[in-house]
Structure 1
C-alpha cells in the first residue's frame, strides 16, 4: 500500500523550547515528500525522524517569519549534497522574493540539483506537473503576506471483482476497460466502466499556519481528510491571538468541525503553554473527530478512504 502520512518535525511557535523544535512538517504522499515551513533545525529533525532529505520533492513556505523558513538553507544544501535524481520546487509568497534569494544563497555550496522557484502571486492552483495530486494556495490573514496550502487527489473509481466476473471481464480486458472506459465482453456486449466499478473519492490534506480566522482558512479546510492547523493560543488569550494574527485551539477546532475534517492536527504552540491539556480540552468542546496534538517526530497517517 502506498505510504501517506504526516511526519511532524517541529511544533514550536516563534522560538524553540527544550522539547519542541521550530516548525517543520513533512507530508509523505506515494513516495513524494512535501515539506511545509522548514524552521531552524529541520535538517537535523529529518535525521531524527529517519527520513532522507532526498524524499523532499516540494517545499511549501507559508510566509517569511523566521520560525517558518530559517531551515530552508540547510534543507536546500542537504538535498544538493545527497544528489537525488530529481529536481525539487519551492513555493513561497512572491512578496518575499528577496528573503527567498537570501535564504537560498545563505552560504557557499555546490549546486548539483535543479531547484525550481515557484513564487505565489495570489490564491489559486499551483503548478505541480506530473504530481498525483493538485496543489492549491489560499490567502491567510497575518501581519505579513501568508498562504496556506491544500493537496487534493483526483477522484477515481474502484473496480468490483464480482461485477467483472459476472460480465466475463478478466485479464487484458480489464486494462482495456480502464484505459478506454468501455470494453467488449466475451458475449459480445459492451461493458462500461461505471457498470463494474464504484466511485473512489480522492484523499486530501491541508496546511494552515499563522493566521486569524478568514475565508482562506475555511476554503482550505473544507472536507479534508487531514488538517494541520496552528493553535498558538488558548481562548483566554484570544485578544492576543487576534492582535498577532493567530488562532486559538477553540477556533481551530470549530473550523475543523464546521468543515467536516476527519483528522485534526493542532500544532505551532506558544512557549507560554508547557502543558497542552488546555488545548485538548478546548478543542474537544467543538470537535469530536480524530484529534492529534502534534509532538516532534510524531507520525500521523492520512485517514483511510471514506
Structure 2
C-alpha cells in the first residue's frame, strides 16, 4: 500500500476549509508526515490515522504554516504513552527548532526525538524505499522531498519453471531471488523464469518553492508530483517576489518532467471560495492535474513496465 492523505492544503493562512500544510504518506502501514502545520494532529484524529505508526516528520522549511503543529503533536503522543523514537528531518535550523520546542510547556517527553539536518542530495535509506532531499528555491533555507521505492523483482513465470522441470517448492523461491538451480543435472537459470525488474513508485513533494531544475530532475517519471501552486497567473509577479509558484508554472514543470499526475497544493486564501481558476490555468498546460483538498486520499498503484 502507498497512500497519500492531504491533511492540510492551504497557503500561509488557514481558512475555513483548508488547514496549513501537512501531507501524510502511509507506506505499508508506516506513517510519514511531510510538514506539520497548525492543527495537524486534529486532522489526523478526524482521519483516524492513529499516531503510533508515525515514524518520521520531514519539514520543508521553518515558516510557521509548515511546522507549528509539531509541538502539540509530540506532546499528545507522549501523553498517549509513546515510547518509540520519533525522527524529525529538516533543513538548516532543524536542531535549533527541536531544541526550542522541547523546552516549551513544562513537559517531559517519554520518548526520544531524533533530529537529522539534511542538505540537498542527502538520502535517507529505509527498508525497500528511500527519501531524497531536494534543493528548492524559497525565501528561507528549504527542501523538497522525494519518496522513491526500490526496484521490485521481475514476475516469476511459474508455468515456465514447471515446464523446465522445476518442482513447486523452495527452488521457486531461489530462482525468484536470482539464484540459478540444478534439477536432474540440468542448470535452470533464474533469468529463464524471472522477468525484468519492475520499477518502484515515486512521490515528489516540493514544499514552498519557485519552479527549479532540482525539482524537475527528481520529478522525471514520478507517479505523483505535489507542487506549490499558491497563486494564479494574475499574481505571477507576487509569486516571483514571494518565492512561490503559480498553478501554470507547476503544470509546465510537470509536463516537462513527464509525471503521471500533478497535485496542486499550498492554495492561497485568495481562493477560499473558488480555486477553480487555478485548476483551469494548469489544465491548459497539463491534463492530469487536480487541486488537493483537505482530507483527500490518493492510492498510488504499483506499476509494471
Normalised to the residue count of structure 1, the TM-score between the two structures is 0.92
Q: Report the counterpart of residue 184 of structure 2 in structure 1.
A: 187
Q: Report the counterpart of residue 210 of structure 1 in structure 2.
A: 208
Residues 116-265 of structure 1: pairs in structure 2 closer than 5 A: 116-120=114-118, 122-128=119-125, 130-157=126-153, 158-169=155-166, 170-179=168-177, 181-198=178-195, 199-265=197-263
* CA offsets 1:155-201 (integer angstroms, 9 cap, x no match): 1222222323322332111222244x223243332223222122211
Report the Cα offset of residue 114 of structure 1. Answer: 2.5
Q: Contact 1:37/1:60 (CA < 8 Å) preserved in 2?
A: yes
Q: Report the counterpart of residue 99 of structure 1 in structure 2.
A: 97
Structure 1: runs of 5 or more not aligned: none
| 3-state SS of paired residue (1:164) | helix
Q: Bigger shift: 110-119 or 144-153?
A: 110-119
Is the alpha carbon distance of 1:196 and 1:257 closer, same or farther for their aligned partners in structure 2, counting shifts above 3 Å?
same
Report the Cα offset of residue 262 of structure 1. Answer: 1.0
Q: Report the counterpart of residue 29 of structure 1 in structure 2.
A: 27
Q: Contact 1:206/1:224 (CA < 8 Å) preserved in 2?
A: yes
Partners in 2 of 1:260 and 1:92 — Cα distance?
Answer: 28
Report the Cα offset of residue 287 of structure 1. Answer: 1.2
Is the alpha carbon distance of 1:124 and 1:277 closer, same or farther for their aligned partners in structure 2, counting shifts above 3 Å?
same
Report the Cα offset of residue 84 of structure 1. Answer: 4.6
Q: Contact 2:229/2:246 (CA < 8 Å) preserved in 1?
A: yes
Is the alpha carbon distance of 1:124 and 1:177 closer, same or farther for their aligned partners in structure 2, counting shifts above 3 Å?
same
Is the alpha carbon distance of 1:112 and 1:273 closer, same or farther for their aligned partners in structure 2, counting shifts above 3 Å?
same
Partners in 1 of 2:47 and 2:103 — Cα distance?
Answer: 26
Partners in 2 of 1:173 and 1:84 — Cα distance?
Answer: 43
Partners in 1 of 2:23 and 2:165 — Cα distance?
Answer: 47
| 3-state SS of paired residue (1:264) | strand
Report the Cα offset of residue 151 of structure 1. Answer: 1.1
Q: Contact 1:73/1:105 (CA < 8 Å) preserved in 2?
A: no
| 3-state SS of paired residue (1:159) | coil
Partners in 2 of 1:196 and 1:14 — Cα distance?
Answer: 54
Structure 2: runs of 5 or more not aligned: none
Is the alpha carbon distance of 1:182 and 1:257 closer, same or farther for their aligned partners in structure 2, counting shifts above 3 Å?
same
Q: Report the counterpart of residue 282 of structure 2 in structure 1.
A: 283
Report the Cα offset of residue 270 of structure 1. Answer: 0.3
Report the Cα offset of residue 61 of structure 1. Answer: 0.1
Number of matched pairs: 300
Normalised to the residue count of structure 2, the TM-score between the two structures is 0.92
RMSD: 1.7
Q: Contact 1:257/1:286 (CA < 8 Å) preserved in 2?
A: yes
Partners in 2 of 1:155 and 1:183 — Cα distance?
Answer: 20
